[in-house]
Amino acid sequence: MNRIFATERVHGNRRDWHNLRGMLPFLWEFRGRAALALGCLICAKIANVGVPLVLKDIVDAFDGADRQVLVLPLSLLLAYGALKLSSSFFNELRDVVFARVRYRAMRRLSTRVLEHLHKLSLRYHLERQSGAISRDLERGTRSVSTIMNYLVFSMLPVAVEFSLVAAIMIGRYAPAFALVTFGTVAVYFAFTFAITEWRMEYRHRMNRLDSEANTQAFDSLLNYETVKYFGNERMELKRYDDTLSEWEQMAVASQTSMSLLNFGQGAIIAVGVTLIMTLAAQGVTSGDMSVGDLVLVNALMLQLFIPLGFLGIVYRQIKYALADMDLVFKLLERKPEIVDTSDAKPLRLREGGIRFEHVDFYYQPERQILFDLNFAIEPGQKIAVVGHSGAGKSTLSRLLFRFYDVTGGRILIDGQDLRGLTQESLRAAIGIVPQDTVLFNESIHFNLAYGRPGATFEEIERAAEMAHIRAFVESLPDRWDTLVGERGLKLSGGEKQRVAIARAILKRPRILIFDEATSSLDSHTEQAIQQTLAEVAENHTTLVIAHRLSTVVDADRILVMEKGRIREHGTHRALLEAGGHYAAMWELQKREGVEALP
């Protein structure tokens, strides 16, 4: 077990150095400012260490009995005040200069993480836990500021000050002073590092439990209606509280061990200062040192050990921040599943013909979804794909958008393999009305304009009118500025679907995909929308994925899928005459439609 923990600590330290190196590109943009801030830091510390040196001369001057006593201390006192003022000035200047570096690094990292998340595959986003990612990203990006803040404002200042104090001790006093000082610092660091590394296990477990609790709370609120439908509020609270109970245990253990660490650090500093002052007192008694030297040694020890006491806290916070930042850097190291090849070319769209050639596909190798799929959609043609749930219909649209790559065969648009095209140009050529429309928690205008951000308001109005939603929008109190709520929950399913249709119209793509585009509409609205979709699809290459067969009777060709294979294909009339799967589905849906009538 100890060997396992030791291995984990070594790996963790390697990750820490790896992550610190990962911060360098964010600092490089303002390397001049960083260097200037470092210069201010050194000047501040030189002034800070100069204060006790002047104080020693003041004490020794008063210890004399000559006539200069009335003049010399005044100049020294002025020098003392100037050094104190300089220390404060350079410290504040360092803060001002470095602020831009710190906050720009946070901004750059946050933007890079969001960009990377958009590059990751659909598979990742289907499996991720939104609540945990939200909390991890919040802690991770904040950790960059924390680390920079502590390194520049705590760790480096102590290192500079320690070097200056060490030079004074070695140059002015007996070796015993330097030996005690360095020995105390060495023991202090060794004790701090050892205990902090031991405590980091608590921090890692606290982070994991905190993210898990946040995910549970996020999911329960996201599924608010489901919780209410089944009356499971107590169950959700218990899940959340049980996780927080574990987190509480880790937090208490962490606090207890921190108290042990603080006491140990205080004891080491107390012993070191006592030994130093004992040596200084003996030096004054023997005449080897002046009273001013005693004051100087005491002042230097206070200047060194007081920030050293905080350094223990700083080191712990840096370790915690590195643990938080590790979550973000591990995310950034995650490779996207779908990437453009080095020689990827933009789609050269001519007529918009689509061809599936011997396409196989699976999400997991043990469960294949599509088997040897062969079909073509000629330019301007409307092809419908029908079948029972789980037949693989919606997978076709995901493959066309290249959210996944085929595991066998190939898909061509105008003779160009999708895998050799840039994803941006491919997706710009395709418009979709999905079965499940998710909207941004913004205004209706924002969600409509999302189809083509550069569209004019008149174009947006025209698209909304074609989708039969303009009258509804203009009847609302806030009209186009009406907020739709998270995921569009303030709108009905039919209203959301009409927004999606308007968005697709506004995009003006050459290729259209309708994935159960009217599944949430009532019969009256569906008939109106079907006419609109027919108008929109005219002269477009169109793939219609449908469950209700009544919506695809006008398709140029209908593909009937079952268990990932095409069982039948032909026109509506031809398939009915064939008396196969399609005819059976048609009769079943007709009976269901009659039974549903009042």
pLDDT at 363 over 70: yes
Is residue 496 located within the same domain as residue 444? yes
Q: CA–CA distance from 341 to each of 288, 338, 345, 346, 403 (Å)?
A: 77, 9, 9, 12, 15
Whether residue 121 contacts residue 403, with contact meaning beta carbons closer than 8 Å, is answered with yes
Q: Could you give the 3-state DSSP secondary structure of residue 65?
A: coil
- pLDDT for the residue numbered 478: 85
Nearest to 414 by CA among 359, 356, 350, 358: 350
SS3 annotation, 253-294: HHHHHHHHHHHHHHHHHHHHHHHHHHHHHHHHHHCCCCHHHH
- pLDDT for the residue numbered 442: 84
In sequence order, the β-bridge partners of residue 546 are 386
342 within some domain? no
Give the residue-averaged pLDDT of 168-197. Answer: 79
Residue given tokens 């290459």 in the structure block? 541
Is residue 489 located within the same domain as residue 579? no
pLDDT at 493 over 50: yes
In sequence order, the β-bridge partners of residue 48 are none
The share of the chain scoring above pLDDT 70, in percent, equals 83
- pLDDT for the residue numbered 65: 47
pLDDT class of 61 with cuts at 50, 70, 90: low
Is residue 241 located within the same domain as residue 310? yes
The amino acid at residue 63 is: D
Is residue 163 located within the same domain as residue 286? yes
Looking at per-residue confidence, does 560 or 158 come out higher? 560
Rounded to the nearest 10 degrees, the angle between the axes of helix 130-150 and helix 72-119 is 150
- pLDDT for the residue numbered 490: 78
pLDDT at 489 over 80: no
pLDDT class of 311 with cuts at 50, 70, 90: low
400 within some domain? yes
pLDDT at 193 over 50: yes
pLDDT at 69 over 60: no
pLDDT at 331 over 50: yes
Is residue 185 located within the same domain as residue 44? yes
18-30 pLDDT, tens per residue?
666 767 776 677 7
29 within some domain? yes
- pLDDT for the residue numbered 519: 64
Whether residue 198 contacts residue 318, with contact meaning beta carbons closer than 8 Å, is answered with no
- pLDDT for the residue numbered 342: 84
Give the residue-averaged pLDDT of 100-113. Answer: 77
Please give the tally of structural domains in the chain: 3
pLDDT class of 74 with cuts at 50, 70, 90: low
Least-confidence region, from 141-155, 259-273, 442-456: 141-155
Rounded CA-CA distance 418/356 in Å is: 11
Helix then strand then coil, in percent of the chain rounded to 5, is: 70, 10, 20
The amino acid at residue 509 is: P
Give the residue-averaged pLDDT of 240-251. Answer: 84
- Residue finishing a domain among 488, 508, 528: 508
DSSP 293-308: HHHHHHHHHHHHHHHH
Is residue 221 located within the same domain as residue 297? yes
Which two tokens mark 182?
A: 């360095």
Is residue 213 located within the same domain as residue 283? yes
pLDDT at 475 over 80: yes
526 within some domain? yes
pLDDT at 589 over 70: yes
pLDDT at 130 over 80: no
Whether residue 321 contacts residue 138, with contact meaning beta carbons closer than 8 Å, is answered with no
Is residue 419 located within the same domain as residue 452? no
SS3 annotation, 70-97: HCHHHHHHHHHHHHHHHHHHHHHHHHHH
541 within some domain? yes
Rounded CA-CA distance 553/558 in Å is: 8
Whether residue 381 contacts residue 556, with contact meaning beta carbons closer than 8 Å, is answered with yes
pLDDT at 127 over 70: no
Least-confidence region, from 178-187, 193-202, 305-314: 305-314
SS3 annotation, 388-423: CCCCCHHHHHHHHCCCCCCCEEEEEECCEEHHHECH
Give the residue-averaged pLDDT of 96-113. Answer: 77
Looking at per-residue confidence, does 578 or 308 come out higher? 578
> What is the domain-level CATH number for residue 501?
3.40.50.300
- pLDDT for the residue numbered 63: 61
Rounded CA-CA distance 372/352 in Å is: 22
Is residue 308 located within the same domain as residue 371? no
Rounded CA-CA distance 149/36 in Å is: 15
Is residue 504 located within the same domain as residue 524? no
**Residues ≥6 apart with Cβ < 8 Å to 215:** 129, 130, 131, 132, 135
360 within some domain? yes
**Residues ≥6 apart with Cβ < 8 Å to 430:** 400, 401, 509, 510, 511, 512, 513
- pLDDT for the residue numbered 230: 66
Domain that holds residue 134: 22-333
Per-range mean pLDDT, top range of 75-79, 426-430, 547-551: 426-430
- pLDDT for the residue numbered 315: 72
- pLDDT for the residue numbered 22: 66
11 within some domain? no
- Residue finishing a domain among 468, 488, 508: 508
Give the residue-averaged pLDDT of 163-180. Answer: 78
Q: Are strands 557-562 and 511-515 parallel, antiparallel or unpaired?
A: unpaired
pLDDT class of 5 with cuts at 50, 70, 90: very low
Is residue 183 located within the same domain as residue 228? yes
DSSP 451: T
Least-confidence region, from 84-93, 266-275, 522-531: 522-531
> What is the domain-level CATH number for residue 310?
1.20.1560.10
| Sign, Cα dihedral of 444, 124, 200, 216 | positive
pLDDT at 352 over 80: yes
pLDDT class of 518 with cuts at 50, 70, 90: low
b/e code 283-320 from CB counts within 10 Å (16+ = b)? beeeeebeebbbbbbbbbbebbbebbbebbbbbbbbbb
- pLDDT for the residue numbered 131: 58
**Residues ≥6 apart with Cβ < 8 Å to 327:** 136, 139, 140, 207
pLDDT at 248 over 70: yes
Which two tokens mark 378?
A: 């000629």
Q: Angle at CA 201, nearest 5°, toward 312 and 125?
A: 115
Least-confidence region, from 109-123, 133-147, 517-531: 517-531
Is residue 98 located within the same domain as residue 178? yes
15 within some domain? no
Cα-to-chain-centroid distance, residue 51: 46
Average pLDDT across the chain, whole number: 77
Looking at per-residue confidence, does 226 or 500 come out higher? 500
35-48 pLDDT, tens per residue?
787 777 778 777 77
Rounded CA-CA distance 403/33 in Å is: 42
205-232 pLDDT, tens per residue?
877 788 778 777 877 877 776 777 667 7
Virtual torsion, Cα 464, 393, 222, 130, nearest 10 deg: -110
Rounded CA-CA distance 430/507 in Å is: 9
- Residue finishing a domain among 508, 523, 546: 508
Per-range mean pLDDT, top range of 166-170, 297-301, 350-354: 350-354
Nearest to 429 by CA among 401, 453, 456, 406: 401
pLDDT at 64 over 60: no
Q: CA–CA distance from 549 to each of 494, 502, 516, 576 (Å)?
A: 19, 23, 11, 11
Helix spans in 393-541 (H) = 393-400, 423-428, 444-449, 457-466, 470-475, 493-507, 523-537
The H or E element spanning position 318 is: helix 291-333
